[in-house]
Each structure stands twice: as C-alpha cells, then as structure tokens.
Amino acid sequence: MTSDTTHSTPLWLYDTTLRDGAQREGLSLSVEDKIRIARQLDRLGIPFIEGGWPGANPKDVQFFWQLLEEPLAQAEVVAFCSTRRSNTTAAEDPMLQPILAAGTRWVTIFGKSWDLHVTEGLQTTLDENLEMISDTIQFLRSKERRVIYDAEHWFDGYKQNPPYALETLKVAIAAGAEWIVLCDTNGGTLPHEIAEIVQAVQARMETWQDGQALPGLGIHTHDDAGTAVANALAAVQAGARMVQGTINGYGERCGNANLCTLIPNLQLKLGYNCIEDDQLAELTASSRLISEVVNLAPDEHAPFVGLSAFAHKGGIHVSAVQRNPQTYEHIAPERIGNRRRIVISEQSGLSNVLEKARSFGIELDKQDPTCRQILQQLKALESEGYQFEAAEASFALLMRQALGQRQQPFELKGFDVHCRTSQQVAELLHTNSLATVKVAVAAQEILTAAEGNGPVSALDRALRKALVNFYPVIAEFHLIDYKVRILDGRTGTSAKTRVLVESSNGQQRWTTVGVSTNIIEASYQAVAEGLEYGLLLQNQAKVALTQ
C-alpha cells in the first residue's frame, strides 16, 4: 500500500557508498569505479554524494580532481574529513589542506560526541574536543565551504553523557555547520530510542536558535542490530530531514542503512519526494549496476530491488496475482524498476507454467495437454535434482522442446577432458586441463581442442572455439558465475551433482542447469544450454528489429 500524503518539507538524500560503503570487507574500488558509481548516483537524482577523504589515499585525490574537470550534472560532491588534531589549529593542520584542494562546495566533518572516545580514543580533554569541533568548522567556513557536521557515536554518547553530547552540537552550530547529522556509528540503537533522542535534540536545538535559522537535522545509521533502515525511518518521522546511507547497504561490519530500501519506503510509503518518479524507476537497475562495479553478487532477496522481491512460487499465489497483483505485492514492481517473476518449481501449478510461458513470449492454452506435459516433466526433473527455480533459461528451452519449437543450433557428438598436474616451484602444484569436443553444426562435424585452468574452463573454451565461426555472437557471451552443489552427500563421490551456470551477453543475464553423477557432464549440460539460450536471445532480438 502506498501513501496518499505528500510532504511539503523536502527530504535530502546523502550517499556515502564511495566512502563508508567502500569500508566493507572485501570491497575495493578503483578511481574509475568510483567515477562510474558517482555518475550513476547523479543520474539517480541523489543530491549529496560523499566521494571520500582527500589526502587519505591517492585514489580519493584523483577522484575529486577528475570531477573538478568533468563535474556531475546535479549532485553536490562532498569531501569528508575529521576535525583537526588536538593541540594545534585548523589553519596549521596539514590534514585539512587536501580537503580545500578537492574544490568541493560542501565538506562533511565528523567529530566526537562520546566522552569515552574523547578521553580514550583521542586522549585529549573534553574542552579541547569542543575547540577542535569549533575551530575546524570556523576555518572551513572562512574558506567559503559549507559544512555538514557528522556527530560520530552520537546516540551512545548521548546515552552516556547527555549534557556533553549536546554541547558538541551547540558548538558545531555556533561555528556555522548547516547540517547536524546524528550518527549511530556502532549500529546498536533501536528505533524507539532513535525517535526519542532525535525529538529531544530537536527540542534542545530550538532553545539555541537565538533569532537565527537552525541547521537541518540528519541521520546516519549502521546495521549491526539489523535495524539501520528502521532507525533511519524512525528518525525521519521524528524530524530528521537528511538521510545518509549506501547503495545495497554496503559498509563496514554489517553495513549501513540501505538506500535501495529507504528511498522507496520514504517516497512510496511516507510520501516524501526524494527523487523524480522516472529516477525511482531506475533504482533496481542502479542497484544491480553498482553491485557489478564493486564485483559483489546482488542480494537476490533484497527488499524492492532483489530478483526475488516480486517472485511468486506457490500455485495459489500465482493464480491470485494474475487476478489482482495487490493480493501478494505491496507495490507495483515497475515503480522501482523491478518486475514480477513467476518461479517454476515442483510446487508449481498450471498458473505458474502459463505465466512463465507468457514471460518468454509463449502463449499457452490452459486446456492444451502440453501444459500438463510441461508441468509433469518439470516435477519429474526436479525430483532428479534439477532446479528450474534458479535456471529459467533451461526451463524456457524445456518448454520450447515440449512445444516442438526448439531449434538446437548444435549437437554434441562427444567430448574428452584431461587434467595434467605439474610441480612448478618448490611444493607448488600447477594444474592445466585440455578438452576435446566434437559437435555437429549445419551438417558438419567439427573437432576442436582447447586448454583451460580447469576442466570446465577448458570445455567451455573448446565448445566456443568449435561454434564461433558459425555463430560469431558467441564471442560476446561470458560465463559470469558457476555454482556446484552435491545433492546427496551420503553416496560419496558417486553423488549426483547440480551445476548452475550464469551467462551474460553484456546486457542480459541468464542461468542454466545441468545434473549428473559426473560433474563434467553436468557442467557441459549447463554450459551448452547457456550458449544455446544466448543464441535464442540473439535471434529474438533480430526478429524484433525487423518487425
């Protein structure tokens, strides 16, 4: 259910994927990666994009320089830094010079709110910490920079020592900060606490107004208790007007508040105008593109943007959704650029088969005996270990075969795979594989061989080598994921193996499946069907162009 209320008060989104998100374990971004992500966030309509900490590493310096030469279309790029060091001045602290050199209009400065961090972390006095906050913001304002003040560990600090935590905000406001952002840095605060404390801060800030406009209040949450999104929503409902987060929830430890979940909730549920409707429709594509850039598999079960977010598996669900999508969908998936998926499995009914066929451009009649034939074949194959729920391309080929519409572009006549292990340097073993395949294509038999760093790699290369002269588009296909699962470990090495292969042509992705007691044979099934389905997509694209 969506909101009927539109709020007149603007809400500002602040993305920190390039800085806080990049602190996720296993995530590393090149300068080119950061530029590409920033431009995508700009197209998405995010007003503030935190680019990193200039001076902390060469990549961040280069990032800001490149964006000075080729600015973004609408977003403000923000430099990030801490308050000055203790027992010096901001003007003398060399750490702040790269911040100025970055050339951004906005700078986010974080300072300590928790007395524990001041005395134990910074090893300085509480009064000196207040001077560090004030001096740093005043210095940046004197250089014509606009300042966002991130109150680090705010909620823990406030719970431990409310008067001191509030005093840190008071000096930041007096020094000229235009935004005060309350940070749940350890991610352990719960939504009811967030709401109460945000309201308390807002009430206290009003007593400091002294005839001048108050700065905006923002929220920055982490997900260590699994409540980052809920906490951010609670803060907005309590009065926060800037929301900081990351795409896909990337971030240190358990991550940050996920903007891909926050934005639809704020816009579609609470009625805030965060981005334009056409930009909101790009949210799913943005989530997936950025996951590709950072080289992390997308979370298929993520709210709103996940592949499974609008997937329907049970036959009763599918039948109901066909009559009225609201029966099992809380929003229309198209609003955030996702789509409804009908999942095929052993739990499927005829409704699943009919809807899935329709998604592949195949119209079936419920009374057609072929429908039940497909359903029975599906359930028989899944009982043997096939998994069409995760391999829709293989199911599309199965349907076409049942309908007599499958035109197999090649036929396997046989293959051999040999693995050779040699000792390269002291006790280090190197394994190389050689695959030989014989395939029939266009009434010709082709025999080819290729090497790879493993048997599946060698087999894939040999098969492509045999086919590419007949189907040049195969050179554009790439195997991007390979998963193996042992189906019955009790039978040891003779157990059935299921192989899932994900392929891509650069624009589309598809998954195929193979099952066998021989892992190489299962791999061949999945790889070969992946190539076949890619060729089917190519032919469909050609037909569409001629119509």
Sole residue written with tokens 């199911």: 395
Query: Which contiguous run of DSSP H or E holds residue 108?
Result: strand 106-112
- What ranges make up the beta strands (E) of 268-410? 311-312, 341-342
Give the Cα separation of 313 and 308 in Å (integer): 10
Q: Bridge-partner residues for 243, per DSSP?
A: 13, 219
The region that residue 372 occupies, defined by phi over 0 for left and psi between -120 and 50 for alpha, beta otherwise, is alpha
Amino acid 424: pLDDT: 56
* pLDDT tens figures, 440-469: 998 899 999 999 888 888 999 999 999 999
Tokens matching residue 212: 């001048």
Give the Cα separation of 81 and 115 in Å (integer): 20
260 and 319 fall within a common domain: no
88 and 237 fall within a common domain: yes
Amino acid 379: pLDDT: 74
Residue 393 within a domain:
no
Amino acid present at 429: L
Tokens matching residue 237: 């409902």
State which residues form the domain around 269.
12-293
- What ranges make up the beta strands (E) of 8-70? 12-15, 48-52
Amino acid 498: pLDDT: 86
Give the Cα separation of 82 and 72 in Å (integer): 25
For residue 464, the domain's CATH number is: 3.30.160
Residues of the chain with pLDDT under 70: 1-5, 8, 314-316, 318, 343-352, 356, 359-360, 389-390, 422-430, 488-494, 544-547
Amino acid 491: pLDDT: 60
Residue 245 within a domain:
yes
Name the domain count of the chain.
3
Residue 477 within a domain:
no
136 and 220 fall within a common domain: yes
Q: Check: CB of residue 54 under 8 Å from CB of residue 24.
A: no
For residue 270, the domain's CATH number is: 3.20.20.70
430 and 343 fall within a common domain: no
Amino acid 1: pLDDT: 46
Residue 48 within a domain:
yes
* pLDDT tens figures, 263-309: 999 999 999 999 999 999 999 989 988 987 887 878 989 999 998 89
Amino acid 221: pLDDT: 98
18 and 114 fall within a common domain: yes
